[in-house]
């Protein structure tokens, strides 16, 4: 494998990971506000189908993405209403929606299966594309991929450098304290759950209008679950989450390269990797053994190590906030 | 004081009735939603219902297939009763089926040439149970000792089991010639579980499922274990203060659910597919989760609801041929029913709270 | 800013937390709010800050009616509150905690925020590292940050709810200095506490609350005895407990240290005799619960030893698992019956079954039904065997808890045994308990009802903010002495406890 081949593989990996970036960043935003959107898999499928059908009907990719985002937000609204307003289990509602969305997308998407439709046009960014290596790697793709770069950076900046971002994190961490500081917890949770859902919807359209161009039943199946795993793997930090998505993309494209030469194991087997990594990360960061181990180190060394390894889940994740 | 007791007794009378109203409303809304969905495709709802009925009960073959779907569904639903009662979301049930199927296939492959066939089949089914237990226990250990959320651990392990199955089918256990999604080399007919005529239904498997269901009902209603599980699920802290061994109870519930799911997986191998296929679990573990959520963890309702869901699954299979309609309609109906039932529960609790109850 | 509360009402369900409460805090004053647990102090100040909404009444700030319905309203109107349990974000940095919720531009400006923080912190000599993680700070430091944050929001009325629990002596000094300085700048301070010493040292004026009502407002200085009688209201009831104490030892403690993230409790040597009743007095959260949980085997002490008598004589139980305490005849009755003691959705009969050590697999319905019916009759529970405990009244829940205690019972630990019960039930519960004492059971109970402590204890131990007194014979107690000790003024008793005599 020479160098230019490697660049091609990496560029493919970035493209493969793009829908996953949208989905996992969307999930990160919702979870940072304290709401688990377990419906990711169904949301993505339903949005992919709707987005494709809408784009087909209007011959506009943009309308397709808009429709997909709306579907994603609608699914999120059901979860937000059930979990925040009705105080039912987020897990139960999200899980049912994950299955329902998948089935509904196959059922309603029947007429548009394998119909050719519009796709996101390729677009090389002038000047940037000529940068050696990086240009080929990052800037000879399409607008959606560039949008995902922006999303990652904007989300990170929003989380860690803006006031509303700080408040978002505090709502997921300790809603009572955020409330005492004047935050409207219920409203903020609704807003961020919907935004997260809309991003998941865009992830769906990213499949059907770009990377898998077209609709077949359950064509994105599994990606929603992978997005959930990647959020944990990435410790609810947008940069790390994106790294997790790209890491998965690299695994996938390596697998497809390997398959052409080894031909024994299909790529599906590689889809397991994010889940194995997720469980390992959970084992590594949840247990008390890490604290016990670390307590032997001096405080100065211990703190940065712990901070690097341990990315705790938002403390109020999945919990109902009772006012009064 | 007096007024308070009066209001609680009134709530007692009205509570189930009010809940029932909401559930009926949910059912009605579900029908409305499903009708609209069907109308959207330009098909008549009546023709769809007729076709579903015909697809499930039209021929002996189809009727038998309902029972072959019912078997794993009842087993997994019964298992989930234990974990839900203990307050656990065992989403890993799907992987526990797969693990059971892998274990059963392993035994069948290893011993088919060595031991008499009935013994191999029995050993395979038992191995399936052990495989499911292993997978369930792993999630349990992660939960109890690693403090890792059973939902994510279970989901992750589903995919690991699925990946393992695919790896085996395409790798070490591939068919002579070309490996494919059609699964491993089928076992000889001597290793098949006895069937009802030439249909898909294996009476022994069904009997095992019925026994498992009966055991579940009996354990939940009549044993100390069932009662303690309920206690731990409802209030872990008070159960600890009252002296329940919480860790042991939680792990037991994982083991039982894993055993039932693994049994289902083993029976899928010896009773239905006669080989390991990638879709060996057919998403029945996830469907079982829907069943148990719909019936609010009351084991008595498993049989009718699981039967209804199985009939829907089988009945919808011929929709593509007959009406050129996707068979996933069954999933749409099941999902809609459960989703609206969950929301209705939320509404009725809210109404109760607003009325000044607990 | 003057803050005025007029005719405030608030109830939670059937409980009336505030009844026609009025309070005026002058600008530049440090106003103490004194009272027992459940007197309604916290409820009142939470309404002033907007954290909970009032049912009726009005709030005037600088004599103008103020619409304070949410904390956001409160902050806007210049009212800030330091909550008893720190309301902050432990995994975030000090600086993030300082900034979260503050108004300003879209982007965070670290340099400005650090500067603002440093200027404020220097004013009060609070030494906090802006990049430290909140979770690594002591309670006192978290409080300091919260005060700085509220000041940076420009509050002119500052409420502090029990700020001196869990902080060190030097932190307390720094806190008081800061509060005096703030009052000097014209801010009004509301200081909620149950500690007489702190209130006397710091406040200009004190309002005492009792059972949701205002008892009165006095200027400081004022004799401690006046404050005590305002807080506790009356002469104490007379002891009614017959002697049940036997000669042999039921439990022995050697220098226990117990702690959680809020307080450390040190209990010197203590010997309890069979049939003896020991009452733990003090305001909630002063360490009684930790002590009871340790005696019950639920918590493990950091240091010290614990011996309990069972059938084999006095055995060391330190570090043994909880179920071993149960087999040794130790019972524990938590105060929060539905959260810790009973399981809401299960019936009385099912609780009976849970308690029976089962040898068989199946539940013997007939037998357990009989046991349940007997218990219902003997303990006079208003309910049937198949009634869910969640549907019983508080008194009947407590009767059920008592009925579920194992037999034989060597030692029983009770938290607020008669809280929420009517007089008839209270008397009845104690009759049952004293009956147990006659048969050799020792009782240690915590209560915030001083009458109950005095009526039924042989000896009393007073807890105040982690300080623990030596046991005092009930006959030697007076209302004033007890009140002073609960308020943290231990005199000689406290010191001797620390010295480990007795």
Domain presence at residue A145: yes
> Is the separation of the CB atoms in C209 and C35 below 8 Å?
yes
- Pairing assessment for the beta strands C277-281 and C459-464 based on DSSP bridges: parallel
B149 touches chain A (CB under 8 A): yes
Measured in whole angstroms, the distance separating CA B188 from the mean position of its chain's CA atoms is 29
- pLDDT tens for residues A62-86? 999 999 999 999 999 999 999 999 9
Q: Which domains does chain C have, with CATH numbers?
A: 3-232 (3.40.50.300), 235-329+408-502 (3.40.50.300), 342-405 (no CATH)
- Within 10 angstroms of residue C64's Cβ, the number of other Cβ atoms is 10
> Is the separation of the CB atoms in B301 and B220 below 8 Å?
no
Distance, in Å, from the CA atom of C176 to the CA atom of C169, rounded to the nearest integer, reads 11
Question: What's the Cα-to-Cα distance from B181 to each of A5, A223, B167, B170, rounded to whole Å?
Answer: 30, 20, 11, 8
State which residue of chain B sits closest to C336, comparing Cα positions. B238
Q: For chain B, which residues make up each domain, given as ranges?
A: 1-43+328-358, 52-324
Average pLDDT, chain A: 88
Chain C CB contacts of B3 below 8 Å: none
pLDDT bracket for residue B211 (50, 70, 90): very high
> Is the separation of the CB atoms in B274 and B191 below 8 Å?
yes
Q: What is the CA radius of gyration of chain C?
A: 25
Greatest alpha-carbon span in chain A = 65
A293 touches chain C (CB under 8 A): no
pLDDT bracket for residue A295 (50, 70, 90): low
Chain B CB contacts of A323 below 8 Å: none
Residue B8 has a pLDDT of 31
The ipTM assigned to this model is 0.91
- What domain range includes position A52? 3-309
> By C-alpha distance, which of C320, B155, C58 is closest to A279?
B155
- pLDDT tens for residues B313-351? 999 999 988 888 889 999 999 999 999 999 999 999 888
pLDDT bracket for residue A53 (50, 70, 90): very high
Domain presence at residue A211: yes
> By C-alpha distance, which of C235, C162, C163, C201 is closest to C482?
C235
Instruction: Determine the distance in angstroms separating the CA of B144 from the nearest CA of chain A, rounded to an integer.
Output: 10
> Is the separation of the CB atoms in C501 and C326 below 8 Å?
no
A91 touches chain C (CB under 8 A): no
Instruction: Determine the distance in angstroms separating the CA of B333 from the nearest CA of chain A, rounded to an integer.
Output: 8
* Count of CA atoms in the C-beta half-sphere (13 A) of C278: 24
Question: What's the Cα-to-Cα distance from A176 to each of A13, A87, A180, A234, B244, rounded to whole Å?
Answer: 42, 16, 6, 26, 33
A183 touches chain C (CB under 8 A): yes
Chain A CB contacts of C104 below 8 Å: 163
% pLDDT > 90, chain A: 56
Residue A261 has a pLDDT of 61
Distance, in Å, from the CA atom of C198 to the CA atom of C176, rounded to the nearest integer, reads 9
> By C-alpha distance, which of C390, A318, A88, C344 is closest to B345?
A88
Q: Please give the DSSP secondary-structure letter assigned to residue B186.
A: P
Residue C500 has a pLDDT of 31
Best mutation site among B84, B86, B235, B247 for testing chain C: the one with the most C CBs within 10 Å? B235
Q: Please give the DSSP secondary-structure letter assigned to residue A267.
A: G
Chain A CB contacts of C17 below 8 Å: none
Best mutation site among C42, C89, C153 for testing chain A: the one with the most A CBs within 10 Å? C89
pLDDT bracket for residue A5 (50, 70, 90): confident
Determine whether the interchain pair A181/C101 forms a contact, defined as Cβ–Cβ distance below 8 Å. yes
Does B2 have pLDDT greater than 50? no
Measured in whole angstroms, the distance separating CA C67 from the mean position of its chain's CA atoms is 31
Question: What's the Cα-to-Cα distance from C99 to each of A164, C136, C400, rounded to whole Å?
Answer: 11, 18, 50
Determine whether the interchain pair A88/B343 forms a contact, defined as Cβ–Cβ distance below 8 Å. yes
State which residue of chain C sits closest to A178, comparing Cα positions. C101
- pLDDT tens for residues B138-190? 999 999 888 888 998 999 999 999 999 988 998 889 888 777 778 888 998 88
Determine whether the interchain pair B234/C360 forms a contact, defined as Cβ–Cβ distance below 8 Å. no
A292 touches chain B (CB under 8 A): no
CATH of the domain at A69: 1.10.3470
Q: Please give the DSSP secondary-structure letter assigned to residue A272.
A: G
State which residue of chain A sits closest to C12, comparing Cα positions. A324
Residue A263 has a pLDDT of 56
Q: What is the CA radius of gyration of chain B?
A: 22
Determine whether the interchain pair C100/A303 forms a contact, defined as Cβ–Cβ distance below 8 Å. no
Determine whether the interchain pair A163/C89 forms a contact, defined as Cβ–Cβ distance below 8 Å. no
Q: Chains that contact B by 3+ CB pairs under 8 Å? A: A, C
State which residue of chain C sits closest to A164, comparing Cα positions. C106
**Tens digit of pLDDT at every position of chain C (502 positions):** 789 999 999 998 778 899 999 999 999 999 999 987 778 899 999 999 999 999 999 999 999 999 899 999 999 999 999 998 889 999 899 999 999 988 888 999 999 999 999 999 999 989 999 999 898 888 889 999 999 999 999 999 999 998 987 788 888 999 999 999 999 999 999 999 888 888 999 999 999 998 899 999 999 888 888 888 888 776 677 788 888 888 889 999 998 898 876 778 888 899 999 999 999 998 888 889 999 999 999 998 888 999 998 888 888 998 899 989 988 999 999 988 888 999 989 999 999 999 887 667 888 889 999 999 999 998 888 889 999 998 888 888 989 999 998 878 999 999 999 887 778 888 888 998 999 999 999 999 999 888 899 999 999 999 987 789 999 999 888 878 888 888 888 875 444 333 332 2
Residue C37 has a pLDDT of 75
Residue B145 has a pLDDT of 86
Distance, in Å, from the CA atom of C329 to the CA atom of C118, rounded to the nearest integer, reads 57
Distance, in Å, from the CA atom of A197 to the CA atom of A121, rounded to the nearest integer, reads 25
- The token pair at A227 is 């997005």
Residue B12 has a pLDDT of 31
- pLDDT tens for residues A151-176? 999 999 999 999 999 999 999 999 99
For C211-355, list the strands marked E by DSSP. 213-219, 249-259, 264-267, 270-273, 277-281, 303-310, 313-316, 330-333
pTM of the model: 0.91
Distance, in Å, from the CA atom of A222 to the CA atom of A134, rounded to the nearest integer, reads 30
Backbone φ and ψ of B172, nearest 5°: -55, -30
Q: Chains that contact A by 3+ CB pairs under 8 Å? A: B, C
Q: Please give the DSSP secondary-structure letter assigned to residue C234.
A: S
> Is the separation of the CB atoms in B51 and B322 below 8 Å?
yes
Distance, in Å, from the CA atom of C286 to the CA atom of C463, rounded to the nearest integer, reads 6
Distance, in Å, from the CA atom of B269 to the CA atom of B104, rounded to the nearest integer, reads 7
- The token pair at C194 is 């149950």
Overall number of domains in chain A: 1
Chain A CB contacts of B157 below 8 Å: 275, 279
% pLDDT > 70, chain B: 94
Chain C CB contacts of A161 below 8 Å: 107-108
> Is the separation of the CB atoms in B174 and B166 below 8 Å?
no
Residue A291 has a pLDDT of 67
% pLDDT > 70, chain A: 88
Residue B94 has a pLDDT of 97
- pLDDT tens for residues B8-55? 333 333 334 467 889 899 999 999 999 999 998 888 999 999 999 999
Distance, in Å, from the CA atom of C146 to the CA atom of C101, rounded to the nearest integer, reads 12
Domain presence at residue A323: no
Angle at C226 between CA C225 and CA C232, to 5 degrees: 85
State which residue of chain C sits closest to A168, comparing Cα positions. C100
Instruction: Determine the distance in angstroms separating the CA of B295 from the nearest CA of chain C, rounded to an integer.
Output: 17
Residue among A89, A103, A282 whose CB faces B148 most closely: A282
B345 touches chain A (CB under 8 A): yes
Task: Please tell me the least confidently modeled range out of B63-77, B185-199, C109-123.
Answer: B185-199
Distance, in Å, from the CA atom of A103 to the CA atom of A117, rounded to the nearest integer, reads 22
pLDDT bracket for residue A213 (50, 70, 90): confident
Residue C177 has a pLDDT of 94
Instruction: Determine the distance in angstroms separating the CA of A300 from the nearest CA of chain C, rounded to an integer.
Output: 12
> Is the separation of the CB atoms in C440 and C407 below 8 Å?
no
Instruction: Determine the distance in angstroms separating the CA of B235 from the nearest CA of chain C, rounded to an integer.
Output: 6
> By C-alpha distance, which of B174, C63, A62 is closest to A54?
A62
- The total number of residues shown for chain A amounts to 324
Residue numbers of B between 215 and 254 with CB closer than 8 Å to C:
222-225, 227-228, 230-231, 234-235, 237-245
Best mutation site among B1, B2, B227 for testing chain C: the one with the most C CBs within 10 Å? B227
Q: If you search the block for the tokens 């982007």, which residue do you land on?
A: C107
CATH 1.10.3470 fits B52-324, yes or no: yes
> Is the separation of the CB atoms in B55 and B62 below 8 Å?
yes
Question: What's the Cα-to-Cα distance from B345 to each of B299, B357, C390, rounded to whole Å?
Answer: 18, 15, 19
SS3 assignment, position C120: helix
> Is the separation of the CB atoms in B223 and C361 below 8 Å?
yes
C127 touches chain A (CB under 8 A): no
């Amino acid at each position: 494998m020479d160098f230019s081949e490697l660049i091609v593989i990496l560029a493919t990996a970035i493209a493969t990971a793009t829908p996953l970036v949208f989905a996992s960043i969307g999930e990160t935003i919702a979870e940072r506000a304290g709401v688990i959107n377990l419906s990711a898999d169904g949301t993505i499928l339903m949005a992919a189908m709707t987005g494709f059908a809408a784009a087909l009907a209007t011959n506009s990719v943009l309308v397709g993405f808009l429709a997909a985002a709306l579907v994603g937000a609608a699914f999120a609204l059901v979860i937000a209403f059930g979990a925040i307003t009705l105080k039912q289990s987020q897990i139960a509602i999200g899980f049912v929606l994950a299955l329902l969305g998948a089935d509904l997308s196959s059922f309603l998407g029947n007429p548009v299966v394998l119909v050719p439709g519009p796709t996101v046009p390729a677009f090389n960014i002038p000047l940037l594309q000529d940068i050696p290596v990086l240009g080929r790697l990052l800037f000879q793709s399409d607008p959606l991929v560039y949008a995902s770069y922006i999303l990652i950076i904007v989300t990170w900046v929003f989380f860690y450098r803006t006031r509303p971002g700080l408040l978002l994190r505090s709502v997921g961490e300790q809603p009572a304290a955020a409330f005492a500081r004047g935050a409207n917890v219920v409203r903020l949770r609704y807003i961020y759950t919907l935004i997260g859902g809309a991003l998941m919807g865009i992830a769906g359209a990213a499949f059907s209008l770009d990377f898998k161009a077209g609709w077949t039943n359950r064509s994105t199946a599994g990606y929603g679950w992978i997005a959930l795993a990647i959020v944990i793997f990435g410790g609810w930090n947008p940069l790390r989450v994106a790294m997790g998505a790209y890491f998965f993309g690299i695994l996938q494209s390596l697998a497809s390269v390997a398959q052409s030469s080894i031909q024994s194991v299909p790529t599906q087997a590689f889809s397991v990797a994010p889940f194995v990594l997720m469980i390992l990360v959970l084992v590594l960061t949840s247990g008390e053994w890490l604290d016990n181990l670390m307590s032997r180190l001096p405080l100065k060394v211990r703190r940065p190590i712990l901070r690097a390894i341990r990315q705790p889940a938002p403390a109020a994740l999945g919990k109902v906030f009772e006012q009064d | 004081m007096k007024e308070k007791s009066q209001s609680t007794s009134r709530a007692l009378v009205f509570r189930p009735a009010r809940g029932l109203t909401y559930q009926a409303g949910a059912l009605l809304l579900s029908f409305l939603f499903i009708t609209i969905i069907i109308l959207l495709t330009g098909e008549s709802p009546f023709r769809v219902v007729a076709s579903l009925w015909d697809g499930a009960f039209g021929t002996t073959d189809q009727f038998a297939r309902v029972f072959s779907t019912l078997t794993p569904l009842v087993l997994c639903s019964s298992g989930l009763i234990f974990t839900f009662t203990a307050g656990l979301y065992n989403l890993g049930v799907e992987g526990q089926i797969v693990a059971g199927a892998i274990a059963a296939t392993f035994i069948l492959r290893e011993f088919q040439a060595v031991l008499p066939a009935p013994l191999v089949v029995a050993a395979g089914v038992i191995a399936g149970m052990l495989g499911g237990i292993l997978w369930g226990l792993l999630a349990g250990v992660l939960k109890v000792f690693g403090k890792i959320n059973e939902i994510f651990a279970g989901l992750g392990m589903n995919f690991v089991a699925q990946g393992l199955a695919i790896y085996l089918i395409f790798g070490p256990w591939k068919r002579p010639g070309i490996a494919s999604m059609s699964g491993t080399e089928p076992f000889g007919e001597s290793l098949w579980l006895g069937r009802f005529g030439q249909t898909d239904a294996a009476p022994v498997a069904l009997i095992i499922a019925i026994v498992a269901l009966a055991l579940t009902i009996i354990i939940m209603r009549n044993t100390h274990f069932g009662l303690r599980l309920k206690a731990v699920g409802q209030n872990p802290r008070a159960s600890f203060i009252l002296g329940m061994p919480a860790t042991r109870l939680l792990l037991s519930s994982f083991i039982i659910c894993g055993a039932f799911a693994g049994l289902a997986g083993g029976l899928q191998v010896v009773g239905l597919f006669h080989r390991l296929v990638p879709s060996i679990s057919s998403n029945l573990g996830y469907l079982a989760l829907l069943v148990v959520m719909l019936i609010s963890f009351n084991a008595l309702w498993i049989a009718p609801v699981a039967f209804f869901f199985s009939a829907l699954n089988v009945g919808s299979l011929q929709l593509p041929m007959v009406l050129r309609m996707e068979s996933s309609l069954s999933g749409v109906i099941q999902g809609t029913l459960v989703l609206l039932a969950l929301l209705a529960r939320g509404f009725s609790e809210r109404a109760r709270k607003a009325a000044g109850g607990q | 800013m003057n803050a005025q509360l007029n005719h405030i009402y608030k109830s939670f369900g059937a409980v009336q937390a505030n009844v026609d409460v009025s309070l005026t805090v002058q600008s530049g004053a440090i106003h103490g709010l004194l009272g027992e647990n459940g007197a309604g102090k916290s409820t009142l100040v939470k309404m002033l800050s907007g954290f909970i909404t009032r049912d009726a009444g009005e709030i005037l700030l600088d004599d103008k009616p103020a619409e304070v319905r949410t904390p956001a309203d409160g902050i806007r109107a210049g009212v800030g509150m330091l909550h008893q349990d720190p309301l902050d974000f432990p995994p975030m940095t000090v600086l993030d905690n300082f900034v979260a919720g503050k108004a300003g531009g879209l982007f965070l400006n670290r340099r400005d925020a650090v500067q603002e923080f440093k200027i404020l912190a220097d004013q009060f000599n609070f030494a906090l590292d802006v990049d430290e993680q909140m979770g690594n700070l002591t309670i006192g430091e978290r409080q300091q940050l919260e005060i700085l944050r509220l000041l940076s929001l420009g509050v002119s009325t500052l409420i502090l709810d029990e700020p001196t629990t869990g902080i060190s002596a030097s932190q307390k000094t720094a806190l008081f200095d800061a509060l005096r300085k703030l009052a000097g700048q014209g801010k009004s301070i509301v200081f909620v506490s149950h500690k007489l010493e702190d209130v006397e040292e710091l406040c200009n004026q004190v309002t005492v609350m009792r059972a949701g009502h205002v008892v009165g407002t006095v200027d400081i200085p004022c004799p401690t005895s006046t404050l005590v009688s305002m807080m506790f209201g009356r002469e104490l009831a007379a002891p009614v407990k017959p002697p049940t104490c036997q000669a042999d030892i039921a439990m022995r403690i050697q220098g226990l240290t117990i702690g959680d993230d809020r307080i450390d409790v040190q209990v010197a040597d203590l010997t309890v005799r069979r049939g003896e009743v020991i009452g733990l007095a003090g305001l909630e959260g002063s360490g009684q619960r930790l002590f009871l949980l340790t005696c019950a085997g639920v918590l493990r002490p950091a240091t010290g030893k614990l011996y309990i008598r069972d059938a084999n004589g006095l055995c060391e139980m330190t570090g043994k698992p909880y179920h071993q305490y149960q087999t040794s005849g130790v019972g524990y009755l938590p105060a929060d019956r539905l959260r810790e003691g009973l399981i809401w959705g299960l019936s009385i009969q099912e609780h009976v079954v849970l308690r029976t050590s089962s040898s068989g697999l199946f539940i013997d319905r007939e037998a357990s039904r009989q046991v349940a019916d007997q218990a219902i009759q003997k303990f006079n529970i208003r309910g049937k065997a198949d009634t869910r405990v969640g549907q019983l009244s508080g008194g009947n829940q407590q009767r059920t808890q008592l009925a579920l205690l194992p037999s034989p019972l060597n030692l029983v630990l009770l938290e607020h045994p008669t809280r929420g019960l009517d007089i008839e039930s209270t008397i009845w519960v104690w009759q049952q308990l004293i009956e147990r004492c006659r048969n050799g059971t020792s009782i240690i109970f915590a209560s915030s009802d001083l009458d109950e402590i005095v009526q039924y204890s042989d000896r009393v131990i007073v807890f105040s903010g982690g300080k623990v007194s030596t046991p005092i014979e009930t006959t030697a107690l007076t209302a004033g002495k007890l009140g002073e000790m609960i308020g943290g003024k231990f005199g000689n008793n406290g010191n001797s406890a620390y010295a480990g005599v007795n």
